[in-house]
A = this chain, B = another copy of it.
């Protein structure tokens, strides 16, 4: 059992937050993670009332968090109100300027968690007084930026120690097993946010064909690209792109975005069909560089407990690599 300021503050058994992955993190996954002692979250992402309502229904009875994509939800303020009515265990914001949203949530005394991708955004979120900063490295699956987990976490930890010692810090990006959690703690984090490894769990709303593509891939097979947002007609700010597993689709368009724009109608149609059928060559799997460490599709509880118990052992042994 690993007790940190994060487990104490949020009342968790394990210092692990499940990332609110758009569409993939529904009520079943969120509830399973929270039930097993982590903090589960619903990936409300771009905000769609029917989907949110269904997923909060499924998770009913478990304390789960709700995660939004900041720039998207700023355009749909009513959905923040809806989320707050669900009395989530925490609100998680990523990608964009969260000032107004954070201030609102703070009035409801619900913990605020802000995921950032740069040191500057970390400083800004810390000044807003958020409860937990998530420093997310580029190795993460899905949307992100360029900084790496290995340097962003200690740099933010130093800033927190000097300026806002009550702020908690989680590492995100590249963490899928006990080694990653133990390393995150060494780097100065109070816990970890885990995405891809839960994306590849039985409770995730992900087609098994897509999950199997992640099992087959190694870490060299992923790429950060703009293709997937263009095809899905999502208006992401220029600074962000998404890490996915390379496939025929990505290889075809990654370096030809302006050509893709000309064929958008057909390509979007093919994407949507591929999404339905779970065709890993027509749709991209949103998985991080940890693809190389994902070898089976487990239940979320198994994932959570294995990460936590492996980290616990490593911390006790002072890593497997230190000779006694």
A interface, CB within 8 angstroms of B: 2-5, 8, 118-120, 137-139, 147-152, 154-155, 157-158, 173-175, 177, 179-180, 182-190, 218-220, 288-290, 292-293, 314-316, 318-323
Contact = CB atoms under 8 A, between A and B. Distances in A.
A322 B119 contact: no
A186 B189 CA distance: 14
Q: Considering the complex of A and B, which 6 residue pairs feature the smallest CB-CB distances, nearest first?
A: A150-B174, A151-B289, A139-B148, A183-B183, A185-B319, A155-B292
B174 A179 contact: no
Given A180-B187, A321-B4, A149 B150 contact: yes
Contact of A150 (B5, B155, B183, B318): B183
A5 B292 CA distance: 25
A3 B179 contact: no
Contact of A292 (B139, B151, B186, B293): B151
20 contacts: A2-B322, A118-B220, A119-B292, A137-B148, A137-B150, A147-B219, A148-B148, A148-B149, A148-B150, A148-B289, A150-B174, A150-B175, A151-B174, A155-B293, A179-B186, A182-B186, A185-B321, A186-B186, A186-B319, A189-B321
Contacts of A323: 3-5, 8
Given A218-B155, A315-B318, A319-B315, A183 B187 contact: yes
B177 A147 contact: no
A3 B188 CA distance: 23
